[in-house]
A = this chain, B = another copy of it.
Amino acid sequence: MLWREELGRHLRRLELAIEDISVGKLSGAVGTYQHLDREVEQQVCARLGLRPAPVSNQIVQRDRHAFFVNVMALIGATLEKIATEIRHLQRTEVLEAEEYFSRGQKGSSAMPHKRNPVNSERICGLARLLRGYAVTAYENVALWHERDISHSSAERVILPDACIVLDFIISECYRLIEKLVVYPDQMRRNLELTQGLIFSQEVLLSLIAKGLTREQAYQLVQKQALAAWENRTDFKTLLQSDPEISAYLTPTEIESLFDYNKIRQRIEPIFEQLLAEE
């Protein structure tokens, strides 16, 4: 849902950027329409799906193109964020999800067992390329007398290349998500790696509700949390056998705090509301 909302924001930015860049000009060498009526500009632009720039000189001003390239780089950064997530989830030690790996595919020429997140890594690398193009696009804005031609050589590279790279990583990302292999059991196992520590905040807040100050409660909970972590023992059991904590919470009360369902109890409305907005 985070991805979906973020991509929605990018769509609005991209619409504005495309609107900004969809202009043309036939206003002559200094923008005065000395040798051509504005109607000609209007017609030529219309044929190209462009609006005439409301005012121009020798060129269309480059803040438009810089904004466009920057929005592309920003979309790239989000795709990198998604790819970074997959790369983490695909680590051998985490393994909560994997890029689809077709039969017969080679993961690594030297190591027959490897299944690297190659698409995700490629998306990350190419997102860096887009950020580099964005830097170049910025520097093209402050032209001499608002119209020197120094931007031209750089734009011949960055405009097509940025569009191609973004198009490519969007489609890479699309395929990546479409075919992503997800391992819910492993997600559960990883949650449980913490010996129940993910419920520490529940315990903290319960102790506060029972009258302890936040500081006192924090100290009590942290002590057992660190013990659970360092000795790889069950957090709940440690809490239940701690006399100081037992003075405030019964074993049954403690038991009731370790509840996955409570974590999820307010998630549904988020989804419902966002999907309803469509």
A interface list, Cβ under 8 A from B: 1-2, 5-6, 9-10, 12-13, 16, 20, 28-30, 32-35, 37-38, 54-57, 61, 63-64, 66-67, 70, 73-74, 77-78, 80-81, 83-85, 87-88, 91-94, 106, 108, 110-116, 118, 121-122, 124-129, 131-136, 138-146, 148-155, 157-158, 161, 190, 193-194, 197-198, 200-205, 218, 221-222, 225-226, 228-229, 235, 262-267, 269-270, 273-274
A124–B142 touching, CB < 8 Å: yes
| 12 pairs from A and B in contact (CB 8 Å cutoff) | A2-B56, A2-B57, A63-B81, A74-B138, A85-B145, A112-B203, A121-B148, A125-B153, A127-B142, A128-B139, A132-B134, A132-B158
Complex Cα distance, B19 from A12, in Å, reads 11
Q: State how many copies of this chain the complex holds.
A: 4
Contact of A32 with B136 at beta-carbon distance under 8 Å, contacts A146-B2, A154-B128 already known:
no
A266 touches B33 (CB 8 A): yes
A181 to B128 Cα, complex, angstroms? 33
Question: CB-CB < 8 A to A202: which residues of B?
Answer: 34-35
- Selected from B78, B148, B263, the residue in CB contact (under 8 A) with A32 is B263
Chain A, interface SS category: helix
Residues of the B chain whose Cβ atoms lie less than 8 Å from the Cβ of A20: 9
Q: Which residues of B contact A127 (CB under 8 A)?
A: 142
CB–CB B146/A81 < 8 A: yes
Contact B12–A63 (Cβ < 8 Å):
no
Chain B residues, Cβ within 8 Å of A131: 135-136, 138-139
- The one of B10, B141, B200 that contacts A74, using a Cβ cutoff of 8 Å: B141
Asked if A136 and B140 sit within 8 Å, CB to CB, the answer is no
